[in-house]
Amino acid sequence: MSTDVALREIDPADSTAAGEFFAVSRTGFLEARPDERARRGYGERVAGHRLLTAQAGGRVVGTFRSFASEVTLPGAGPVPVNAVSSVTVLPTHRRRGVLSRMMADDLARAREREHAFSALIAMEAPIYGRFGFGAATRSTRWVVDADRTAFRPDAPGGPAAGGSLEVLDPAEAREDCAAVHDAARRARPGGLERPARWWAERTAAEGPGALGAGVRVVLHRDADGVADGYACYETAEAWAGRVSRSSATVSDLSATSPAAYRDLWEFVTSIDLVRSVAAPDRPADELLPHLLTDPRAAQDGPVDDFLWLRVLDVPGALAARRYLGSGTLVLRVLDPSGLADATVRLHVGADRCGSDGWTCAEVTTTDAEPDVRVGVGDLASLLLGGTSPVALRAAGRLQATAADAHRLQAVLATPESPWCPTWF
């Protein structure tokens, strides 16, 4: 561990310090150096965030940013989460324990502030498992053959549903898009908050995070005129002789009803001259193929991890979500750092189900013999329902009898896979 490196927080309002912070961060992510205009604007973009630096010889050699956000848990809606981003260490100071010190400092602070979770998007998967993070959501890239896309006659939406579509510039659609996303992210595990600042940057004409001049928004309204879906898309023109090979890319699509979802996909796959539509960072269990007469018109690609969680409070994390299954299990959660090491009794009683089918759990610490032993990172992967306890047992990452692994899977199951479409 390097003793010549000191950890120091900097004030986001200090434009010079914030500019240096992001210059180092961009170096770590293989990005171009920010120009003077960008440096001056960083402080405003991260107002209220915690900027932790590692400094040696008066220069920043490591960066670590965290801020308060929300993540949606199964059946329970959003809960507070400590979001982590801009984590870098310059090559000159690697393998000196700098990242470990910054991570330990921030996790301890988040625990003191009574966060049950920290969250991040891992650029390199092997790194963050060492700190107790586990992959909690996954996503994939869908490619749709527009020429083969036809919707089933029994699919929701279409002209009979009375909805309408309007193509807008991103700034015009900002408020409606924000409202739709906020409703949608509350309904599916893994959804993250997008504050007003996020939308302002996203829909600006230019600047960091902006969609870009080529992006348009198609907004869907229901029969009563209320916005219930949108898609951000960009087209790319290409020709083979006089035959169009043009394509579209959907960078963001959100809907609060199946009818809006169907109508948005029908719109982007029927744009004149467009032959294929790509949609990155989508759920692996996308509804689209089930709506098509030829499901093979929509093809998914490799499935990658996206949002990673770190449990900071085991009883609090388990009690924060709700459950569809029922049962009682004693869980021994192993955390080498000691931050969240715990043995708890998880009890989900079938007689306490609400009208929506979800049930709250009773979670208490205990000295009883555990039914399940699991690492804190693997618990994070299990909590949103996106990872199978049975699979982890087969991989040697969860110790339990086959029957107990199946019981845990039944308790944690969710109707949809967790999904997070929001980069941060």
Please identify every residue annotated as catalytic.
Answer: 128, 424
φ, ψ dihedrals at 267, nearest 5°: -65, -55
Give the CA angle between residues 176, 274, 299 to the nearest 5°: 85
Establish how many alpha carbons lie within 13 A of residue 351's alpha carbon, considering only the half-sphere containing its beta carbon: 0
Distance CA(343)–CA(400), nearest Å, equals: 14
Which tokens hold the place of 169? Answer: 């510039």
Rounded Cα gap, residues 343 and 345, in angstroms:
7
Q: What is the DSSP letter of 96?
A: S
C-alpha–C-alpha distance, residues 220 and 180, integer Å:
10
Question: 3-state SS of the chain: helix, strand, coil percent to 5?
Answer: 30, 35, 35
Looking at the DSSP bridge assignments, the partners of residue 62 are 54, 89
User: Is 293 in a helix, a strand, or coil?
Assistant: coil
Tokens at 368, concatenated: 């009883």
Give the C-alpha separation, 262 to 228, whole Å. 12
Q: Does residue 330 contact residue 368 with C-beta atoms inside 8 Å? A: yes
The 8-class DSSP code of residue 190 comes to T
334 vs 311: CA distance, rounded Å: 11
Q: What's the CA gap between 156 and 338, in Å, rounded?
A: 50
Q: CA 386, CA 360: separation in Å to the nearest integer?
A: 19
Calculate ∠ Cα 106-112-115, nearest 5°: 80
Residues 6+ apart with CB under 8 A from 246: 235, 236, 237, 238, 239, 273, 274, 275
Phi, psi of 216 (to 5 degrees): -120, 160
- Comparing C-alpha atoms, which of 188, 252, 257, 184 is closest to residue 218? 252
